[in-house]
Chain A
Amino acid sequence: MDTLTTLVLGFLSIVIVNNLVFSKFLGICPYLGVSGRIDMAFGMGLAVTFVVTLSGTLTWLIDHALLIPNNLDILRYVCFILVIAGAVQLVEMYVRKFFPALYESFGIFLALITTNCAILGMCLFLNLWKVDNIVEAVVLSFGAGIGFTMAICIMAGIRENLQLANVPEALKGAPITLITAGLLSMAFMGFAGMIK
């Protein structure tokens, strides 16, 4: 199979089939916390996409250029988390300078991208899946971000409509969101097996 086909299939698989939120349970905290309004969800998705692409690429480079040749596997987690924290700091500074209104509405959740498991998870998966090509690493991390954006936007759309629904008293808030997420992940199971 030529390279382009591999890349396109890899991208589609990480966005739809192996979606980080629905099949790997990564990034659940912002997925439940910021999915109240669709514009905020979209902004969050874009921020995560940027950070995950940047840190996925950088950690892949560090892993293959520094850690593996020098047998420093033991430092992998510490290095990865440092790179991610740095990338988030960058995004935070950028958003505060150019989109102050968005910065206000995100509040703590922007800094919490550091502890978004989708990002560290993606960096670890690049290592676990033995991705040995930088282009593939970039495409996969970008796809992971797009997949997250899609998941959080779908969820926000549903939740905006859910506000008008008559939910049983005890299930209001987080419980009904989780059950909705369950139904969504069942829908996405339909894509399983589409791409090997």
Chain B
Amino acid sequence: MANSNSPKALQTLLAGLWKENPVLALLLGMCPTLAVTADVKSALTMGLSTSFVLLCSNIVVSLMRNLLKPHLRILMFTLTIATFVTIADLYLKAFLPAMSDKLGPYIPLIIVNCIIICRAEACASKNGLFISIIDAIGMGLGFTVTLCMLGAIREILATGAVFGKQVLPVISENWYLTGGMPNGFIPMFAFALPVGAFVTLGLILGLVNMINKKTA
């Protein structure tokens, strides 16, 4: 049983990372992807909270999949998700209050993150517990990694730092008065603003298209 399961399990796990990556291939969950990726720390928090909710909701949906009535399906999914999001929200408020303030309404907005409903509908309501858990881990990991990558690009371009640590020496003020070449990295604040989010994600999607075309 374990032998016949393991290739499928591995495939499911890897699918979430690249081929069916929720952000890059399925274009799901765009709102948090764009809203909280101004720096890596909030991107990581968001990715992990979403993964937690995804894992819990996949487990619950998979366990109750035989009891679901088709027309009440979506409502049950949403209520399950809302419950776990409340747990995640209370946890963040208690242990990471600063981060919780910063993310604000985007934590409760995990409820309407399409990735979670999509996985509940497409995977957990049709498959057993094991595959559902693996699927949630793969998708959650893919989502978190993509968010962090986007966060890193935007943070380094906007401030010259990654994860709050300065990696590029920021240019000194009034450098142009001393004459000569700029003596450091010029921060591009636009990347911390909505413009940066849209344009960065657009260019990354273009890059993914190019890579997919080459390998196909």
How many Å lie between the Cα of A54 and that of B205 in the bound state?
A: 36
At the interface, is chain A mostly helix, strand, loop or mixed?
Answer: helix
Given A85-B78, A116-B112, A128-B105: A29 touches B117 (CB 8 Å cut-off): no
Total contacting residues, chain A, CB less than 8 A: 44
Contact residue among B83, B85, B111, B209 (Cβ-Cβ distance under 8 Å from A170)? B209
Let me know if A28 and B86 touch, CB within 8 A. no
A124 and B209 form a contact (CB under 8 A)? no
Whole-angstrom distance between the Cβ of A147 and the nearest chain B Cβ = 14
Give the residues in chain B near A25, CB-CB below 8 Å: 30-31, 34-35, 194, 197
Binds B, one of A58-66, A131-139, A175-183: A175-183
Name 5 interchain pairs, CB-CB below 8 A, sorted by A: A77-B86, A82-B75, A120-B109, A171-B202, A189-B195
Quick one: given A74-B90, A120-B109, A189-B193, are A170 and B199 in contact (CB under 8 Å)? no
Q: A77-B86, A78-B83, A111-B74 are in contact. Are A170 and B198 (CB under 8 A)?
A: no
B positions within 8 Å CB-CB of A:
27-28, 30-31, 34-35, 74-75, 78-79, 82-83, 85-86, 89-90, 104-105, 108-109, 111-114, 117, 190, 193-199, 201-203, 205-207, 209-210, 213
Chain A residues numbered 108-122 whose CB sits less than 8 Å from any CB in chain B:
111-112, 114-117, 120-121
Task: Tell me the nearest residue of chain A to B87, going by C-beta.
Answer: A74
